[in-house]
Structure formats: structure tokens, C-alpha cells
Amino acid sequence: MITGVRSPSAFPELLTVFYRFYSKKSSSSTQWLNRASKDPYTKAARFQDYKSRAAFKLKELNKNHNLFKPGYTVVDLGFAPGAWSQVAVELTKPHGRVLGVDIIPANPPKGASSIQANILSKKTHTIIRNFFIETDYNKQNDDDDLGKPKSYIATELQEPVELELEENDQKSNNNTHKNLPVELSEKQQFPVDIVISDMYAPVLPPERYWNNTTNSAFHRMANTSGLVIRDNVASINLCDAALILAIDLLKPNGAFVCKFFTGEEDKGLEKRLRKVFKKVIRDKPNACRDESKECYFVCFQKKKTVDKIDVFTNFHEVKL
């Protein structure tokens, strides 16, 4: 006898179970599904094989501000699921280099490398710098491995070490690779042409939905809280961490893009950005949802000398 096949009479029963399950879903998730199914950017992303509709935000920012050039080195912070990295790979061909960093596990898209790590940890900044030194070193030494995208998992992922501002921390890199040079050339110190950040603070799902698999980690975690103050402060903290990385790794004249959620704290961030870049513009691409508080700072022409301590003098100006 064949088991596992249900008699036809069982189907109405199954339909009832499905109906009950879906009718119990919160109206907000049903609204989200309805909205996503009608959204032209979601449809276009599916059609053009982008990992998400976010691809169109970066494409629009690039169209408005001419950010990318072939051969550029890009750091994409909060890259998962990978739409921005896909666009960055396209726009920096040939010879471009794209490194995605995210706190959640995700495979980098074709042509990009990735590191799973928390950008709020100083160790992550060192790992990112070492990634570039190492790949440059391999290039000089004709290592066959070069050019092949890689994925790393930072081991201290769960322990963010506070980003401290040391005057000379560019020199204290703690390079661990035995073959790497101790003294860095200027090109090695500032290897990046553009840092892009689409990060927002992940909110853990309620405990009953938690599971430890790596499947769909992005969909489990990437949500804003909906609380304006929390989202604004959390996003500004992430932008500041991205800005510290940009100060440390961006070439003079390099560019920086970061997502933030509008609110009280973004004026302070804008002031800090103006200390680092000659030109700072706010932009909200059409692909952002009208009702969303998300917005982007697009910054150009990193100044040649930047005093990090001065930039962050009012770092802790968060008022709650």
C-alpha cells in the first residue's frame, strides 16, 4: 500500500487549515505581502535577477551622482542579501573589487567577496583592512588565488569591541599574516574608492519564531522597529561606524554613501560628514517607499587630512 497519499476527501480539510493559518496572520504582514506583490521595483528586481528591490536605490543614486567607475574598489556595509553588491560589481567592471560585510550569514553575489562581521567592532575594521592588504600582496606576488572572491567569517562576531578613537590607530593594524609588510604604503593605507552603507539595525524576531538555522537569516532579522527615535539613533550609530571606516580606508577624494533614518540626530551626523568630505548631499531615491523615513547621505571628495578626534568631538550627543 502506498502511504503518504491523502484521500481526496482530505483536501477540503487542508484548505480549512490553510485558511485558518492565513486569516490568523497579522494585518500588517498581509498588507506587506499585498504591497510587495504590487510593487514595480520588487517585480523588476525579480525579473532582472537582483537579490532585492534595493538594487534600484543604488542605481538611482549612481545615476544622480555618478558614483562608480570601472576598476573601483568598493566596501559594501550591510550587504545582505546582496543587491547593492550586485550593482557595484556591474558598475566597476572590469577590474573592480567589491567586498561585502554583514553581521548575518549570507553568500556574496557573483564577483564579490564577503566577511561576516559586526561593523560596530574595531576588530572588523582591522579584518577589512587586512583583506585588502592581503589581496594586494597576492596580486604583487602573482598568487593564482587573487581575483577569486572569498568569504570570511570573523570569529569574534558575538563580541562587539567598542570603536575607540585612537589618534594613531591607522598604524596599529595588528597584521597577523606572516608575509604582510609591517610598514604600509599610502596605497595600502587607503585602498578604497567608495564605501557604501545600507545598514540598519537588525531587530531580533520574537522568541517563538527564533530558530538557529542560517536559512533566510536576512528575512528573519532585517526589520526596523518602527519607533522613530530608536531607528534614527540606531542608524546614526551605524553611519558613524561606517564613517570611521571611511576615514581609515578611503582614498583622498574618495566617496561615501550611507543610509540613515531621519530624525533629531541626523544634523549631528551631517556636521561630522562635512568635516570629512568637501561635498555632502541628502538624497532620497524614488525607489525608497514614500512612507519610509529612510534617506541617504552622498558624500564626495574626502579631504586629504582628517582629524578623527575632531570629527567625533561631539560623538555622544544622543539625547533621549
Ligand X SMILES: C[S@@+](CC[C@H](N)C(=O)[O-])C[C@H]1O[C@@H](n2cnc3c(N)ncnc32)[C@H](O)[C@@H]1O
Q: Which residues bind ligand X (CB under 6 A)?
A: 51-52, 54, 78-84, 101-104, 118-120, 198-202, 218, 221-222, 238
Q: Helix (H, G, I), strand (E, B), or coil: what is residue 314?
A: coil
Contact criterion met (CB below 8 Å) for 181 and 137: yes
Minimal CA–CA distance to 253: which of 299, 297, 296?
Answer: 299
Cα dihedral 155, 173, 199, 282 in deg (nearest 10): 180
Q: Which residues contact 3 (CB under 8 A, 6 or more apart)?
A: none
CA distance 188 to 190: 6
- Across the chain, how many H-helices and E-strands are there? 11, 8
Tell me how far, at minimum, the Cβ of 179 lies from ligand X, in Å.
28
Q: Helix (H, G, I), strand (E, B), or coil: what is residue 261?
A: strand
Residue nearest to ligand X (CB): 78
CA distance 43 to 51: 11
* Candidates 57, 59, 122, 259; catalytic one: 259
Closer to ligand X by Cβ: residue 136 or 259: 259
Closer to ligand X by Cβ: residue 67 or 104: 104
Cα dihedral 309, 313, 316, 317 in deg (nearest 10): -150
Closer to ligand X by Cβ: residue 135 or 224: 224
From the CB of residue 33, how many other CB atoms can be counted at a distance below 10 Å? Answer: 12
Tell me how far, at minimum, the Cβ of 77 lies from ligand X, in Å.
6
Closer to ligand X by Cβ: residue 191 or 202: 202
Tell me how far, at minimum, the Cβ of 85 lies from ligand X, in Å.
7
Query: E strands along 179-245, which residues?
Result: 192-197
Minimal CA–CA distance to 244: which of 268, 276, 282, 280?
Answer: 276
Tell me how far, at minimum, the Cβ of 160 lies from ligand X, in Å.
7
Q: Which residues contact 104 (CB under 8 A, 6 or more apart)?
A: 80, 116, 202, 217, 218, 221, 222
Closer to ligand X by Cβ: residue 137 or 152: 152
Q: Residue written as cell 553611519? A: 239
Report whether the peptide linkage leading into residue 252 is cis, meaning its omega lies within 30 degrees of zero.
Answer: no
Closer to ligand X by Cβ: residue 15 or 204: 204
Active site residue 303: no
Tell me how far, at minimum, the Cβ of 178 lies from ligand X, in Å.
28
Q: Residue written as cell 570569529? A: 155
Tell me how far, at minimum, the Cβ of 16 lies from ligand X, in Å.
37
Cell of 72: 573601483
Tell me how far, at minimum, the Cβ of 62 lies from ligand X, in Å.
13
Closer to ligand X by Cβ: residue 52 or 62: 52
- The residues annotated as belonging to the active site are 259
